[in-house]
Structure 1
Amino acid sequence: MPIISTEDNYLTVLNLFTTDTPAHQEQLLTEMGKIVDAAAYEGWISSTVHAGQDSPGTANLIQWRSGEDLQKRYAGEEFKHRTLPVFREITTGIRLLQNEIVHTCTHPALGGRVEVSPDRDDYTVIEVHQVRDADQAELLKLLGEGQDWLVNVPGYRSHSVFKGLQGMFVEGAFAVVYAQWDSKEAYEAFRDLPHGRKPGPRRTNDERIAELATATDTNTYRVVHTRAAGQ
């Protein structure tokens, strides 16, 4: 199963698709599954497909050996003339985000390993924060080590913070948080806690993040399929 780790030098690509109906989400999952199962690209490490929960859509977390390998995929005729046109027909939004992992944190029970697999029951949350170039480094710090207190929150499993490098169909700098929780209920209890009841460190952190982020969007997911090179 794929592992998210700061010790790896992989390029992590998050392909995020939004759509308007559950039926279109199922079409997306089918098309993504076909691509993942047929993948044999030079430098491709793994792909893990996620199904949207709160809003219809999908996420594909893909690990690549390098940006050069990814660009070869993007330059290919299949990607330009088959893959993108198919997805454009059934989506309301596409973002192909290239990222570098900069921070991971886990509940002690996970032993420091962030595993991504349909064999697990993680309730996954993906946040995308847009930010001014000059503020990206501070935002990454706040989203990462600034939230290590999460280990004491009921239902927390892990969170991984990615520095956005570049993307297709997205403008400007960005940061991504990939978080795992025990359940929908645990995550929503954390998310919906009134600001005045938040512990001091969280309150201060949240306020500064809100000041730095120029836009933020979030969706929740379940992992439904994964495959790695060699399988």
Structure 2
Amino acid sequence: MPSISTEDNYLTVLNLFTTDTPENQDQLLTEMQKIVDAAAYEGWISSTVHAGQDSPGTANLIQWRSGEDLQKRYSGEEFKHRTLPVFREITTAIRLLQNEIVFSQSRPGLDGVKVSPQRDDYTAIEVYQVADADQAELLTLLGQGQDWLVNVPGYRSHSVFRGLRAMFVEGAFAVVYSQWDSKESYDAFRALPHEDKPKPRRVNDERIDALKTASDSNTYRVVHTRAAGE
């Protein structure tokens, strides 16, 4: 079962695909699972496929030993001439985000951050674009600045990634990967009116809004995973 931890030195790649229909999402999931089940790339650690919930799309959280190993995959003929063309046919947007983890927190009593279809996590992935000069502050606000989350009903964990480089995304970015007990608990957290938020959250949210240049999110369920050697 893959885990997310600041103690790992993996390169974490989040491949985010959006599409326009549930049928295309199903096709995306089928294609992604084929790739994961056949993976035998040098330096590949694990891949975990997520199915979009709030809107059609998929996410693949992939752990690599290094950026050099990933680049070999990207420069290969299979990736350039089969994988990308297939995904371009059935998606409305593609983002291939390379990241390093900078923060991870879980609710007391949980054994770190695990990612598996054997769990029932309701997962949210948020992408924030930011000016280069503001990336470090934004990462702090998204991570240590939200230590109060452990007291929010339904919260399980959140992990913050510093964007290193990307395909199909310009400029600096950060990613938050969070896990919740249910859709209801996540929606209640997101829907709380700003004036009703506790002061630490209000202050934090206001500063995040001032720093980010754009943001978007989707929610997911993990549907498939495989690690090297399995």
TM, length-normalised to structure 1: 0.99
Aligned residues: 230
| 1:91-115 Cα shifts (integer Å, max 9, x gaps) | 000000000000000000213x100
Q: Cα distance, 1:185 vs. partner? A: 0.2
Q: Give the Cα–Cα distance (whole angstroms) in 2 for the partners of residues 128 and 183 of structure 1.
A: 21
Q: Cα distance, 1:83 vs. partner? A: 0.1
Q: Cα distance, 1:202 vs. partner? A: 0.1
Paired position in structure 2 for 1:42: 42
Q: How does 1:175-194 map to 2 (within 5 A)?
A: 175-194=174-193
- SS at 1:110 equivalent: coil
The percent identity for this pair of structures is 83
Paired position in structure 2 for 1:110: 110
Q: Cα distance, 1:228 vs. partner? A: 0.1
Does residue 141 of structure 1 match 2:147? no
Letter in 2 for 1:11: L
Paired position in structure 1 for 2:200: 201
Paired position in structure 2 for 1:158: 157
Q: Give the Cα–Cα distance (whole angstroms) in 1 for the partners of residues 147 and 80 of structure 2.
A: 41
| 1:18-40 Cα shifts (integer Å, max 9, x gaps) | 00000000000000000000000
Paired position in structure 2 for 1:124: 123
Q: Give the Cα–Cα distance (whole angstroms) in 2 for the partners of residues 109 and 94 of structure 1.
A: 36
Paired position in structure 2 for 1:74: 74
Paired position in structure 1 for 2:166: 167
Paired position in structure 2 for 1:217: 216
| 1:123-179 Cα shifts (integer Å, max 9, x gaps) | 000000000000000000000000010000000000000000000000000000000
Q: Give the Cα–Cα distance (whole angstroms) in 2 for the partners of residues 66 and 225 of structure 1.
A: 23
Q: Give the Cα–Cα distance (whole angstroms) in 1 for the partners of residues 148 and 5 of structure 2.
A: 19
TM, length-normalised to structure 2: 1.00
Q: Give the Cα–Cα distance (whole angstroms) in 2 for the partners of residues 154 and 54 of structure 1.
A: 20
* Aligned Cα root-mean-square deviation (Å): 0.3
| 1:189-230 Cα shifts (integer Å, max 9, x gaps) | 000000000000000000000000000000000000000000
Letter in 2 for 1:72: K
- SS at 1:205 equivalent: helix
- SS at 1:121 equivalent: coil
Q: Give the Cα–Cα distance (whole angstroms) in 1 for the partners of residues 109 and 52 of structure 2.
A: 26
For structure 1, the residue ranges without an aligned partner over 5 or more in a row are none
Letter in 2 for 1:10: Y
- SS at 2:117 equivalent: coil
Paired position in structure 2 for 1:24: 24
